[in-house]
């Protein structure tokens, strides 16, 4: 050890010895704790510093310390403080003084007539004690100085001086502690051992706090442990543990719990369990023990307060038990758990896929906290993004739209766009997608939605503009105008392999994925565009096509007129109206018109998303054989997609085989064939398909399929 350091410790020890000599061998503070404080004191100083003794400001000469090693005569015990405290009824100080005198004079017996008035026959001294008792320490000092001046032979009783020193030190310690002067707090504690007793637990706490603040937790632990070892007052003991719980590393707190007497720290154990549950509720990779859960569940069950229920709710929510979470949050709400419980309940209902209830509950807490609005918006977005879109009451849709607008929540606006798009409300979809992009210029899912909407609206200029802007960033947007790439299933691989390719959209985006994919796919493969492409030919060949700007498709009662209106409406993406027109044509038209109208009705139903109805129509309708083959392939594609989405890969593959009889397999279907094999664990077959696709057109998606297979094989090997 460095010489300086040795000297430092020696000097500090000397200072303490002096302090002990001054006050007698004080036993109220354990030697261990004194050593702890001393060491800390020594360590707390920069090495270059000379240790400074505490300001020695006693205002009268000190009584000489007893010479060590000499036999002492029976001590004359100064009982004036004792008697004073007794007459004042100051039991706390009385006990401390009693203990102090006992430690100082082991043979001393406390007097029995303690409450007899102090009979010093010295009214001035009595006044000094009185000032002291009233906490007027400055005035007591002044009185001592005054009398010392008047009578140079007079000495204040050592007891009074000692009491004043301690009381002033206590005040300094509080002031230093309040001013966050931690080294000073520790210094005062070190140099005033008489202060660190059970009679003044607050001083012990403040010294412990100073140790905590100066990153000496083990010293703080010793201080708390001192209280638990020596001090009997239950309130002090519990408060000590509460402070330790907040201030110390957990293993130290748990070790201190070993000093528990008859279950006094049950509430601390509760708090520890709550802390663990709370941490695990924030960090799902952590978990609380079953005992801890059971402990707090029992408390929550018996309580009429909401907090534990809320805590348990969040724990269950983050640990994949949304049903249990919902129950706890509802309990909490019933106990006036407020916004936090409501937020939890909305999240839990959402997680349990009860989006409707989540939206309903969340809508009642929109005025509460930002977190409540956030939870509501997520729930509402999940609700509208469901596949198929749920039938929603206009008031529900209205308040979702209102809240999305008020919060300028881009994902919500995009969700409303998709909801509108999927419900055939193209104009509304356009507005919502545009709104979403206005709020978040980088929101790809909205840009994609808008691109599809513009395509549906045949706004070629707008579409090209969007593709020019987004193409470099989003493959699927670029692909809209890239004829060869149209068949690629733009985001399909994300379903089986969410990490195979970085998704172009925020990962926390809720369900629109599948729906959007379905839409994208439909846009690529459904006959809408194709029929539109062919429409001019057909119009030229068969019936006068009436192209009317402004979205009306003419009138006319004839079958040919109805048929023309049907195609026109279909081009305008008004499939329901188109279906009606085709119905009219079917009822009234010629055989040729009827054949064409039957096909039109199937397309219209497909455009409406009514696949089953379309299949029924196709089966029943008098469709021309050539067209029927085309249509059957289309319908089988639809069936395949539905089976694939339902993860029924075997049946999906069977459907693909059936479809192959009517039409060659498109690239996107081949890709999905590969993924179907992949999902069935048929990696060899999947590899063949992906490799063929990769060779054919260097598809990045085929490549990611191959990579996915490699990953799986590697994982399987280990």
Partner 1 sequence: MIRALATFVAAMLALAMALPAQATVPAEAWQLYREKFVMPDGRVVDDANGNISHSESQGYGLLLAYLAGDRTTFARILAFTRTELLIRDDGLAAWRWDPGASPHITDINNASDGDLLIAYALARAGSGWNMPSYTAAARQLARSLAKVGLLKRKGETWLMPGAQGFGEKERADGPVVNPSYWIFEAFPVLAQLTEDGSWLQVQATGLKLLDAVAKTKTPPADWLSVKAEPKPAEGFPAQFSYNAIRIPLYLLRAGHAEPGRFAPIRSAWSSGTATIDVRSGRAVEQLPDPGYRILAASIACALDGTAIPAELKTFEPTAYYPSTLHLLALSLLTERYPRCM
CB of 176 to partner 1, least distance (A): 4
Smallest distance from the beta carbon of 185 to partner 1, in angstroms?
A: 9
Residues of the shown chain interacting with partner 1 in the complex, contacts defined by CB under 8 A: 52-53, 55-59, 61, 136-139, 141-146, 148-149, 168, 171-172, 175-176, 178-184
Least distance in angstroms from the C-beta of 161 to partner 1 = 11
Q: How far is the CB of 310 from partner 1 (least distance, A)?
A: 35
Task: Using the minimum distance from each CB to partner 1, give the nearer residue, 13 or 184.
Answer: 184
Minimal distance, residue 50 CB to partner 1, in Å: 9
The CB-based long-range contact list for 707-713 (8 Å cut-off, 24+ gap) reads: 707/500, 708/493, 708/496, 708/497, 708/500, 708/678, 709/678, 709/683, 712/683, 713/683
User: For residue 511, what are the CA distances in angstroms to 121, 378, 389?
Assistant: 92, 11, 11
Q: How far is the CB of 313 from partner 1 (least distance, A)?
A: 40
Q: Which is closer to partner 1, CB of 139 or CB of 270?
A: 139
What is the C-alpha to C-alpha distance for residues 492 and 676, in angstroms, rounded to an integer?
11
State the nearest-atom distance from the C-beta of 95 to partner 1, in Å: 24
Residue 69 to residue 488: CA distance in whole angstroms:
100
The residue among 234, 510, 239, 235 whose CA lies nearest residue 387 is 510
**Buried b or exposed e, range 421-444, using 16+ CB within 10 angstroms:** bbbbebebbbbbbbbbbebbeebb
Nearer to partner 1, 144 or 392 (CB): 144
State the nearest-atom distance from the C-beta of 9 to partner 1, in Å. Answer: 20
Q: Which two tokens stand for residue 190?
A: 């070190």
When the beta carbons of 15 and 674 are compared against partner 1, the nearer one is: 15
Nearer to partner 1 (CB atom), residue 49 or residue 465: 49
Residues 583, 568: contact at Cβ < 8 Å? no
Q: How far apart are the first and last CA of the chain?
A: 53
The nearest distance, CB 197 to partner 1, in angstroms, is 20
Query: Measured from the CB atom, is 184 or 558 closer to partner 1?
Result: 184
**From residue 32, how far is each of 29, 38, 39, 173, 710 by CA, in Å?**
8, 10, 10, 21, 64
Q: Which two tokens stand for residue 243?
A: 């402070």
Using the minimum distance from each CB to partner 1, give the nearer residue, 50 or 530: 50
Burial of 70: CB neighbours in 10 Å, binned 0-12, 13-18, 19+: exposed
Name which of 141 and 319 has its Cβ closer to partner 1: 141
Block residue for tokens 């529900």: 396
Nearer to partner 1, 168 or 297 (CB): 168
Query: What minimum distance in Å lies between the beta carbon of 148 and partner 1?
Result: 7
d(CA 665, CA 652): 13
Rounded to the nearest whole angstrom, what is the least distance from the CB of residue 242 to partner 1 in the complex? 23
Q: Sign (positive/negative) of CA torsion 126, 130, 133, 138? A: negative
Minimum CB distance to partner 1 smaller for 51 or for 554: 51
Counting every residue, how long is the chain? 718
Nearer to partner 1, 145 or 334 (CB): 145
Closest CA to 700 of 542, 451, 475, 486: 475
Nearer to partner 1, 75 or 158 (CB): 158
Peptide bond into 388 cis (omega under 30): yes
Contact residues for 326 (Cβ-Cβ < 8 A; gap 6+): 313, 345, 348, 349, 352, 354
| Residue whose entry in the numeric block shows the structure tokens 């195609």 | 567
- For residue 183, give the nearest of 208, 214, 212, 205 by alpha carbon: 214
In 572-590, alpha helices (H): 575-588
CA dist., res. 307 & res. 96, Å (int)? 41
Whole-number minimum distance, CB 249 to partner 1, in Å? 25
| CB 603, CB 527: distance < 8 Å | yes
Q: How far is the CB of 33 from partner 1 (least distance, A)?
A: 22
Find the shortest distance in angstroms from Cβ 180 to partner 1. Answer: 8
Tokens of 446: 């909205």
Nearer to partner 1, 159 or 165 (CB): 165
**DSSP 8-state class, residue 258:** T
574 φ, ψ (degrees, to nearest 5)? -115, 70
Instruction: Judge whether 209 and 216 are in contact, CB under 8 Å.
Output: no
Comparison of 116 and 145: residue with beta carbon closer to partner 1: 145
Q: Which is nearer to partner 1, 36 or 176 (CB)?
A: 176
Sequence-distant (6+) residues with CB within 8 A of 661 are none
C-beta closer to partner 1: residue 141 or 324: 141
> How many angstroms separate the CA atoms of 642 and 609, rounded?
11
Q: Where are the alpha helices (DSSP H) in 250-306?
A: 250-257, 266-282, 290-302
Question: CA nearest 232: which of 261, 205, 209?
Answer: 261
**Least spacing, CB of residue 273 vs partner 1, in Å:** 36
We find the least distance from the C-beta atom of residue 13 to partner 1, in angstroms, to be: 19
Question: Which residue carries 């796919």 as its tokens?
Answer: 521
Q: List the structure tokens of 563.
A: 């048929």
């Amino acid at each position: 050890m460095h010489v300086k350091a040795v000297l430092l410790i020696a000097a500090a020890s000397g200072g303490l010895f002096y302090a002990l000599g001054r006050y007698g061998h004080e036993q109220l503070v354990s030697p261990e704790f004194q050593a702890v404080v001393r060491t800390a004191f020594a360590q707390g100083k920069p090495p270059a510093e000379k240790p400074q003794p505490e300001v020695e400001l006693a205002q009268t000469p000190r009584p000489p310390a007893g010479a060590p090693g000499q036999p002492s005569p029976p001590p004359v015990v100064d009982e004036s403080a004792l008697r004073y405290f007794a007459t004042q009824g100051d039991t706390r100080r009385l006990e401390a003084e009693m203990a102090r005198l006992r430690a100082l004079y082991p043979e001393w017996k406390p007097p029995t007539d303690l409450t007899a008035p102090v009979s010093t026959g010295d009214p001035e001294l009595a006044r000094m004690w009185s000032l002291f008792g009233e906490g007027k320490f400055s005035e007591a000092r002044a009185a001592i100085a005054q009398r010392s001046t008047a009578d140079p032979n007079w000495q204040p009783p050592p007891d009074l001086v000692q009491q004043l020193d301690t009381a002033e030190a206590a005040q300094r310690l509080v002031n230093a502690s309040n001013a966050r002067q931690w080294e000073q707090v520790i210094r005062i504690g070190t140099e005033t051992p008489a202060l660190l007793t059970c009679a003044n637990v607050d001083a012990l706490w403040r010294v412990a706090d100073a140790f905590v603040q100066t990153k000496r937790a083990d010293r703080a632990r010793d201080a708390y442990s001192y209280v638990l070892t020596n001090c009997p007052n239950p309130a002090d003991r519990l408060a000590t543990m509460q402070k330790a719980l907040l201030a110390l590393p957990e293993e130290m707190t748990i070790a201190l719990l070993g000093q528990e007497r008859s279950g006094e720290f049950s509430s601390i154990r509760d708090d520890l369990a709550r802390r663990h549950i709370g941490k695990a509720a924030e960090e799902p990779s952590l978990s609380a023990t079953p005992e801890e859960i059971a402990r707090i569940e029992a408390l929550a069950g018996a309580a009429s307060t909401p907090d534990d229920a809320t805590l348990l709710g969040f724990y269950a929510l983050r640990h994949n038990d949304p049903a249990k979470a919902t129950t706890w949050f509802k309990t909490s709400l019933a106990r006036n758990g407020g916004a936090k419980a409501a937020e939890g309940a909305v999240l839990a209902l959402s997680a349990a896929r009860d989006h409707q209830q989540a939206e309903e509950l969340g809508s009642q807490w929109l005025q509460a906290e930002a977190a409540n609005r956030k939870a509501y918006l997520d729930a509402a977005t999940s609700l509208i993004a469901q596949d198929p879109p749920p039938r929603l009451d206009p008031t529900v849709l209205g308040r979702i739209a209102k809240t999305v607008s008020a919060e300028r929540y881009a994902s919500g606006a995009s969700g409303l766009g998709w909801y509108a798009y999927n419900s055939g409300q193209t104009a509304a979809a356009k507005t919502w997608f545009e709104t979403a992009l206005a709020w978040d210029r980088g929101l790809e899912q909205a840009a994609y939605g808008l691109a599809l909407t513009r395509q549906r609206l045949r706004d070629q200029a707008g579409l090209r503009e969007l593709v020019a802007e987004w193409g470099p960033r989003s493959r699927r947007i670029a692909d809209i105008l890239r004829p060869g790439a149209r068949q690629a299933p733009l985001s399909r691989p994300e379903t089986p392999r969410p990490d195979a390719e970085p998704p172009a959209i925020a990962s926390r985006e809720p369900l629109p994925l599948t729906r959007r994919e379905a839409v994208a796919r439909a846009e690529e493969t459904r006959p809408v565009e194709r029929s539109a492409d062919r429409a001019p030919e057909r119009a030229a060949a068969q019936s006068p096509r009436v192209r009317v700007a402004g979205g009306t498709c003419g009138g006319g009662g004839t079958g040919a007129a109805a048929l023309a209106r049907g195609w026109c409406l279909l081009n305008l993406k008004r499939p329901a109206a188109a279906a009606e027109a085709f119905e009219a044509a079917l009822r009234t038209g010629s055989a040729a018109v009827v054949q064409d109208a039957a096909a039109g009705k199937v397309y219209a139903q497909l455009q409406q998303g009514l696949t089953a109805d379309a299949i029924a129509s196709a089966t029943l309708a008098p469709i021309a054989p050539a067209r029927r083959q085309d249509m059957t392939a289309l319908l089988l594609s639809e069936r395949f997609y539905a089976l694939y989405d339902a993860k029924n890969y075997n049946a999906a593959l069977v459907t693909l085989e059936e479809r192959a009889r009517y039409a060659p397999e498109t690239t996107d279907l081949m890709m999905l064939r590969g993924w179907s094999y992949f999902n069935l664990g048929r990696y060899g077959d999947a590899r063949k398909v992906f490799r063929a696709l990769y060779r054919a057109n260097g598809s990045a998606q085929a490549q990611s399929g191959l990579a996915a297979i490699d990953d799986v094989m590697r994982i399987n090997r280990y």
